[in-house]
Amino acid sequence: MAARRLARGRLTVSFECLRQPREHVEHWLIPKLQTRDRSMSDTLPTIGHWIDGKNVLGEHRSQEVFDPATGKAEKRVLLADLETVKAAVDSAQKAYPAWRATPPLKRARVMMKLRHLLEANAEKVAGLLTEEHGKVFGDAMGEVQRGIENVEYAACAPELLKGEHSRNVGPDIDGWSELQPLGVTAGITPFNFPAMVPLWMWPMAVACGNTFVLKPSERDPSSALFVAQLAVEAGLPPGVLNVVNGDKEAVDALIDDPRVHALSFVGSTPIAEYIYARGCEKGKRVQALGGAKNHAVVMPDADIDNAVSALMGAAYGSCGERCMAIPLVVAVGDDTADAVVKGLRAQIAEMKVGPGKDANNDMGPLITKAHREKVLGYVQQGVDEGATLVVDGRDLKVAGHEDGFFMGPCLFDHVKPSMVIYQEEIFGPVLGVVRVSSLEEAMKLIDDHEYGNGTCIFTRDGEAARYFSDHILVGMVGINVPLPVPVAYHSFGGWKRSIFGDLHAYGPDAARFYTKRKQITQRWPSAGVREGAKFSFPSTK
């Protein structure tokens, strides 16, 4: 049956597939869509937007969505214009009064239902991640599970929203605080965690009584739209969560719309700084998480074999496309460095690189051809600057996937702080080893770097570990843990130029970010008692 479409200006709401069973129906994906955009191939399924609980199409600009393992375009995503973003905010604004008035426990029950639906559809979501991002399926399943844990925590909103109460703060006067929602809120999320990072944001936002407009990465948008569909199935009213795909035009529209009261962002530092500055100028509450250059310190007394194994996953997992990846090892002493490089070289030789759908592979492709070229450029720059390229993965070819965006793991030794590969975030499978003579020297390197997202230390010395964790100028610290990503009931965030804003992501800080405190002081005078005017400032004395 052909899709019936209801025109609303330039927008089109598609009702195709609505008669099918709700489970596994991909409302956001319309096969072989014809539009007036003549550059759009009618052989590619098209991804639209999710507004007011419906799939929304339109005559927008568009771009291709690739399978990184094959290098072929498999879908096309529409890029929202100003009108589309306005429609999403309109929907969120319209839904807000009723959702704000919904008891917190009922909002929490939606989150509990969503959790069960996500668990039932975890493999489906992970498959979308593998198809569009390229990460191996096991890694994708781990991302989905971390996202589910944030939904679980959002279900605790009734407890988190309880205010404080004090009786008799003055004669017959009571005082209390309430945590009230902000209104329409928005999130802008990156390509590297297309399922998890949105779940850092909108579940807590809506559990606190806000409505939400999500702009996921246009490089891998399908998982965010599928989860939005599951949220409606879980009982989330239409308009409480809206998803618009797009680029800078959509981002700026969200920033500039006065009805959007808060923005959360995860991505690169230049964009984070831009969104924070522009959002604050517009009077919005903003948290913007930026880039990272995480150092792992390996002490001479460390369990080198276990440290090397931990570093392998931290450096090359998800092809290094993680803001908590470890791209730098700071080895204390030449003997330590030699042992670490030897161990890494041996384990790299055993790595399997290939399509993420193959469960036997350890590492998949990079997200796009352009990003692969950028990472390859960094490797060449490291060679040109004099670092020793111990393992060169630039010429890797995966049989049957020669056009995929693959490169092998690379390992540098003798990296210096003056080198670009030390200073800048590469976001690829490139690990560098820096040699220092003491823990103090290692810590100075970390403290002097502009980023302060995460770091870790490998040691058996409790005194050294305690000193390191207490004094290092970094927001998230691991002790014999290479990826110190906090669990859902703690908050995530770095220091320095890795974050802009006072509150971190998810956990307790999320409840604070998505609410505003109201203090109420109440007094009921006794009937029939007349009191004279008092001109002194009120106090309890």
Distances (CA, A) of 313 to 148, 324, 327, 351: 22, 11, 11, 11
Distances (CA, A) of 8 to 12, 83, 112, 244: 6, 11, 34, 16
Distance, CA of 320 to CA of 314 (rounded, Å): 8
Distance, CA of 135 to CA of 143 (rounded, Å): 10
Distance, CA of 214 to CA of 240 (rounded, Å): 11
Q: The dihedral of CA 159, 194, 47, 87: what is its sign? A: positive
How many Cβ atoms sit within 10 Å of the Cβ of residue 438? 11
Cα of 335 vs its chain's centroid, Å: 38
Q: Which of 240, 213, 217, 271 is nearest to 85 (CA)?
A: 213
Q: Assess whether 323 carries a catalytic annotation.
A: yes
Residues 156, 208, 319, 323: which is the catalytic one? 323
Strands 476-479 vs 454-458: parallel, antiparallel or unpaired = parallel
Q: Which of 99, 114, 300, 247 is nearest to 185 (CA)?
A: 99
The β-bridge partners of 185 are 212, 262
HSE at residue 451, side-chain half, CA atoms within 13 A, is: 26
Distance, CA of 2 to CA of 8 (rounded, Å): 19
Distance, CA of 309 to CA of 340 (rounded, Å): 10
Place of tokens 């869509």: 33
Extract the tokens encoding 356.
């993420």
DSSP state of 394: T
Extract the tokens encoding 359.
């469960």
Among all residues, which ones are annotated catalytic?
323
